[in-house]
Amino acid sequence: MIEVTPVEPRSAKSGIEFRQVDGEIRAVEGTGNRFVGYAAVFNSDSENLGGFVERIRPGAFAKTLRNKRRDVRAYVNHDSNMVLASSRSGTLEMREDDKGLRVEFDLPDGVSYADDLRSLMRAGIVDKMSFGFTIPRKGDGWSDDGTRRELREVVLHEVSVVTGHPAYTATAAGVRSLDALAKRTGLAVEEVSATLDAIADGEEIDAEKADALIAAIKGSVKEPEPDLTLLGLKAKQTELLAKKVF
């Protein structure tokens, strides 16, 4: 079990901003340890970020990625105690492509939180990423009315695998996951979404829907694990979620 320690949001003191995105995450490539995902997507409107909508311009990460002295790390839920890989060690690979900021690394073996994360991703429960950044001088631009912001250059500090709601919705990994679960369970997409939200909030759910979800999750995993039940997976997710930082 993961020991949960409250973590103060670093953004409150450091000025670092965080953005989340549905990420088309895969953790089953190759030997089953290879993580591939997108921490950011280009030319896509974010959700309302408090009175404004944001877009990331292609090339926004180019300068910071060229800086080999900068050590960018991959975390779970922005928690520096739960590191997964780093650029300086050569374990974290990042590059821009036509879609956005592509991230790759091998999930470390023998690390409890990485093992929990691997189980959740194999089951399709965790499928989001985030990036922490600051904006250099003239690195962004605003519309005249202040309702739209464009990120033109960012200083990248970290990328994280997260379980919260996305700020950017261009990639459809979350939607596709719900559609797939709906087809396998025979439930409507709205029912699946509402049921998963209820589980996350600790509310009671209909036994028939729970059984359908358990069967669907087990059927999506090639190598079932001993504790691969809805309760077991949600326990793992809750432990990781307890450490997330907004």
In a domain, 1, yes or no: no
In a domain, 100, yes or no: yes
| Residue 97, pLDDT score | 94
Residue where one domain finishes, among candidates 136, 162, 188: 162
Look at 90 and 119; give whichever has higher pLDDT.
90
Which range among 6-10, 122-126, 171-175, 196-200 shows the weakest confidence by mean pLDDT? Answer: 6-10
Is pLDDT of 240 > 60? yes
Residues 152, 181, single domain; the answer is no
| Residue 59, pLDDT score | 96
The 3 state secondary structure assigned to 197-243 is HHHHCCCCCCHHHHHHHHHHHHHCCCCCCCCCCHHHHHHHHHHHHCC
Residue where one domain finishes, among candidates 162, 193, 213: 162
Q: Which of 31-40, 135-144, 183-192 has the highest mean pLDDT?
A: 135-144
Residues 195, 158, single domain; the answer is no
Residues 137, 190, single domain; the answer is no
Residues 110, 205, single domain; the answer is no
Residue where one domain finishes, among candidates 105, 137, 162: 162
In a domain, 2, yes or no: no
The 10 Å CB-count burial string (b at 16+, else e) for 161-189 is bbbeebbbbbbebbeebbeebbebbebee
> CA-CA distance, 159 to 143, in Å (whole number)?
27
| Residue 198, pLDDT score | 73
Average pLDDT over residues 18-42: 74
Structural domains counted in the chain: 2
Residues 204, 229, single domain; the answer is yes
Average pLDDT, the chain: 76
Provide the pLDDT confidence category of residue 234 given band limits of 50, 70 and 90. Answer: low
Provide the pLDDT confidence category of residue 8 given band limits of 50, 70 and 90. Answer: very low
Is pLDDT of 31 > 70? no
Q: Are 161 and 126 in contact (CB under 8 A)?
A: yes
Q: Provide the residue range defining the domain that includes 121.
A: 14-162
In a domain, 21, yes or no: yes
Centre a 10 Å sphere on the Cβ of residue 87 and count the other Cβ atoms it contains. 20
pLDDT tens-digit series, residues 158-201: 999 886 555 555 433 344 455 667 777 887 766 776 777 677 66
The 3 state secondary structure assigned to the chain is CCCCCCCCCCHHHHCCEEEEEECCCEEEECCCCEEEEEEEECCCCECCCCCCEEEECCCCCHHHHHCCCCCCEEEECCEEEEEEEECCCCCCEEEECCCEEEEEEECCCCCHHHHHHHHHHHCCCCCEEEEEEECCCCCEEECCCCCEEEECCCEEEEEEEECCCCCECCCCHHHHHHHHHHHHHCCCHHHHHHHHHHHHCCCCCCHHHHHHHHHHHHHCCCCCCCCCCHHHHHHHHHHHHCCCCC
Provide the pLDDT confidence category of residue 119 given band limits of 50, 70 and 90. Answer: confident
Residues 53, 156, single domain; the answer is yes
Provide the pLDDT confidence category of residue 3 given band limits of 50, 70 and 90. Answer: very low
Q: Return phi, psi of residue 232, to 5°.
A: -65, -45
pTM: 0.62
Residues 187, 76, single domain; the answer is no
In a domain, 7, yes or no: no
Look at 175 and 44; give whichever has higher pLDDT.
44
Residues 126, 157, single domain; the answer is yes
In a domain, 8, yes or no: no
Give the whole-number percent of the chain exceeding pLDDT 70. Answer: 67
Residues 136, 25, single domain; the answer is yes
In a domain, 3, yes or no: no
In a domain, 57, yes or no: yes
Residues 151, 186, single domain; the answer is no
The rounded Cα 103 to chain-centroid distance in angstroms is 11
Name the token pair of 20: 């989340």
Residues 49, 68, single domain; the answer is yes
| Residue 1, pLDDT score | 30
Residues 214, 93, single domain; the answer is no
Which range among 53-62, 70-79, 209-218 shows the weakest confidence by mean pLDDT? Answer: 209-218
